[in-house]
Chains A and B, each alone.
Chain A
Amino acid sequence: MGTDALRMRGITKRFGRIPANDAVDFTVAKGEIHCLLGENGAGKTTLMKVLFGLHKKDAGEILLDGRPVEISSPGDAIAGGIGMVHQHFMLVGRLTVTENIIAGREPRSGFLLDYRRAREMVREISGRYGLKVDPDARVEEISVGQQQRVEILKALLREAELLIFDEPTAVLTPPEVQELFGVMRRLKASGKTMIFITHKLKETMEISDRVTILRDGRKVATVETARTTPARLAEMMVGREVELRVARPEVTRGERILALKDLRVKGADGRYRLNGVNLEIHRGEILGIAGVEGNGQLELEEVVAGLLKPAQGRVWLGAEEITALDPGAIRARGVAYIPSDRLRRGLIGSFSAARNLILGSQRGRAFAPGGILRHRRIEEEARRLVADFDIRAASVHEPAAALSGGNQQKVVIARELSRRPELVVAAQPTRGVDVGAVEYIHRQLLKMRGEGKGVLLISAELDELRALSDRIAVLYEGRIVAEGPSGGFTEQELGLLMAGEGK
């Protein structure tokens, strides 16, 4: 493959005393797609920010095409032929696609921007790499997938030879992910080198030539993708063996536990966010709700929990109608709720882990008979849950905000599942959670199912939905556009349905 496009040697970057990168070696060959794989906090983004001049390294050296370079600003990086496609796009919504792409490299005629030539430049470069965009559309009016293309074109126009993609699939629908991979393959064919930051194993296996795994700021290994397996990658990422797919034993389906009848919920703008949803969940069953975020998932979880009142329709828990009940009353009737926005809804960051573990039970005989909190009981319960649910905290008095994302989620899950619920509403339960914790959360949800509870699982992860759900319903623009046994959908079908292009 000739010389390496990039060599990073002994890169160390500390934030305070803690090294985010500890003597990391990272080599990318010319013309390859190289995955940088690791859990949240493993140091992937830090390493790339050092490369792009956004962080100053404490030690180590960087070689581009064999030549040592000093990169102290993004300007240096761009001059060296490095382009970065940020996860949070650096675009101006009010400007057109053309204006965004050429910003900083405007062709001029006199003092004025030569818009016609600018548009030609954009046409030329988007044609060359097969990245279709409408040069005159305003960025705020195009889809997220297209905005990402604008970002890529920006980098290409600046003659980037080495492109860094920072978790590019996080914001995309499954069909958009496939389109992005198509673009990446075309870029590779035209000789570009790419670094793909991710923590998703499947995408790594699909798109990359080689993989470098980081864990706790150190490099674990660099392997050829063709010679490894997802299980092996997961093990290197987490540092122990991980079961990627937990087994789903047969459970007999019991009586109906939740029924939604013709549910309609209006948003602030007067449009229906849920538009006639009918669903049923039985005991011993996990119903998965597939869909791209913003298609009514948030409204669905909040209506069942009682936080949002429907404009029309009814909600039944077992034989009792709960449509008009407040969240406290619904909770008391055995509905556990793992909210999708755990920090906004599920936790009080400044409260200790122990106090968070009784949120919702702060009144009542268990922890506060007569309205007086029994600290010893609360602490005992907290210690029990911390042990049972493997929550990593320095102590139960640590504020919830100080815990890692995975452990915060475990606090919510421990609290909700330990209350012996009849129905579990789990919204995006594994979002932002490390691979090891994902396995654990999946086991817990299946355990609830095995105990004859009903589970409403709302998730954007198709793998998760397909592995856990007995049935899947696809939510698109506030309607259920398809529903059936989870085995009856292929991943492609689900992806198309989520994008509104189904049967």
Chain B
Amino acid sequence: MSGKKLFIDFAYSLGAVFFALLLGGVLIHLSGYDVREAYLSFFDGAFGNVYNLANTLMMTIPLIFTGLAVAVGFQAGLFNVGGEGQLYLGALASALAALFVRGLPPVLHIALALAAGALAGGLWALVPGYLKARTGAHEVITTIMFNYVGILLVAFLVKEYFKEPGRADQTSMIPASARIPELIPDSRLTWALFLGMLAILAVDYLLKNTSLGYEIQAVGQNLPAAEYAGIDARARMTVSMLLSGMIAGLAGSTMVLGVLHRFINNFSPGYGYTGIAVAVLARNKPWGILPAALLFGALQSGGMSMQLFARIPMDLMTLVQGLVILLVAAPALLEILAASRRRPKEVTPDGRDPDGHLQHQ
């Protein structure tokens, strides 16, 4: 990937965000609200003071993981839509490891709970990955189905076996030794932020510097060429789904261990799905995930305070989120349309266009 193209992609995403905010302003105005007041309370709510910033970052963390999960799958040409289910599996596994393993020192206890979450999320993605590699079952369908199965399975397990006495469907609180420490006192922002960055770093390293990463990308970019090179495409697909699920599982783990300190049924406002949007905005580049997740975290926390203080419905910020996705995804759509309409240029003697596709019949 050349630096120039990276810069263009970045500028494009930035432009899309800008235009989405602009259009959102128009819509806020049309809905009869004061645009200035709306955006002032939005920015104040997202970044206005340390506490608000911490809150934004807290909401960013799960999106880093779920966004990265989608990006990793995409490198092997797989669209993992199952982040939400994998997140719930990871969350419950981490809560159980935190609750039932006792007597470990804090760092080890946290590590164990994280590992349990990653493992559970990974296994939940491994099944669709394996089905794809062996039978060709489309991963979009299977991962969506696995979301339902996973979320309901987890809800069932909690209700039936791990429920704390009381009305809410939730486990009891996890011990202090398994809680990820706060980064800023009296906020819910924890060291999990650096865990997210570490995950990005690891994925980036894997893709750029390892044989496995090379092969995963080869499979994603050009499957016939990967086969030609002797790469076991099925194994690489399966591995990348496993990795993707592990990362999505960690999103649930960090919520349980850092923010909620217990498992609560239906705790996620759709982090798994928002992760898809984050990956699209980041164009599946590992380091692009960080600003993209931050943006969506800010829209979330800023939108909340906009609703709270300016009495402007938060739905308008959800709308801005949608506009961002539309504007980022639209050029990709345009490119596809342009490519299909492009006339064949100079042609080689066997009737192939310059890209090597057979033109005649």
Contacts and interface: CB of A to CB of B under 8 A. Distances in A.
A362 interface: yes
A69 interface: no
Q: Which of B212, B229, B350 has the most CB of A within 10 A?
A: B229
Nearest to A325: B230
Interface stretch (A112-120, A121-129, A334-342, A483-491): A334-342
B203 interface: no
Interface stretch (B39-47, B79-87, B182-190, B353-361): B353-361
B349 A360 contact: no
Interface string A152-174: 00000000000000010111000
Contact of B214 (A167, A328, A331, A362): A362
A497 to B, nearest CB: 20
Nearest to B213: A373
A167 B350 CA distance: 10
| Dominant secondary structure of chain A at its interface with chain B | loop
Contacts of B350: 170-171, 293, 428, 431-432, 460
B356 A348 contact: no
B349 A170 contact: yes
Contacts of B345: 45
Nearest to B226: A348
A345 B351 contact: no
Q: Which of A89, A332, A359 has the most CB of B within 10 A?
A: A359
Interface in A320-354: 326-332, 337, 339, 341-351
Contact of A350 (B210, B221, B360): B221
Interface residues of B, number: 36
A375 B209 contact: yes
A330 B230 CA distance: 9
A200 interface: yes
B349 A432 contact: yes
Contacts of B27: none
Contacts of B228: 305, 307, 327, 337, 339, 345-346, 359-360
B275 to A, nearest CB: 24
Contacts of A344: 222, 224-225, 356
A199 interface: yes
A373 B346 contact: no
Nearest to A361: B229
B214 A373 contact: yes
Contacts of A89: 360
Nearest to B222: A348
A132 interface: no
Contact of B348 (A169, A351, A431): A431
Interface string A371-408: 11101000000000000000000000111010001000
B199 interface: no
A87 interface: yes
B346 A45 contact: yes
Given A347-B225, A359-B229, A167 B349 contact: yes
Given A348-B222, A432-B348, A307 B227 contact: yes
A40 interface: yes
B355 A167 contact: no
Given A167-B347, A428-B350, A359 B225 contact: yes
A363 B231 CA distance: 10
Contact of A360 (B212, B229, B357): B229
Contact of A327 (B215, B230, B346, B354): B230
B320 interface: no
B224 A45 contact: no
A355 B215 CA distance: 11
Q: Which of B209, B221, B222 has the most CB of A within 10 A?
A: B222
A368 B230 contact: no
Contact of A331 (B225, B230, B357): B230
Nearest to A302: B228
A240 interface: no
A41 interface: yes
A460 B354 CA distance: 19
A88 interface: yes
A346 B226 CA distance: 9
Nearest 6 Cβ contacts at the A-B interface: A328-B230, A432-B348, A343-B356, A170-B349, A360-B229, A362-B214
Interface of A: 40-41, 44-46, 87-89, 144, 167, 169-171, 199-200, 293, 305, 307, 326-332, 337, 339, 341-351, 355, 359-360, 362-363, 368, 371-373, 375, 397-399, 401, 405, 428, 431-432, 460
Given A351-B221, A373-B214, 19 more contacts: A40-B346, A88-B360, A167-B349, A331-B230, A332-B230, A344-B225, A346-B228, A348-B218, A348-B222, A348-B226, A349-B221, A360-B229, A362-B214, A363-B211, A368-B211, A373-B208, A373-B209, A405-B348, A460-B350
5 contacts: A171-B351, A345-B224, A349-B222, A349-B355, A431-B350
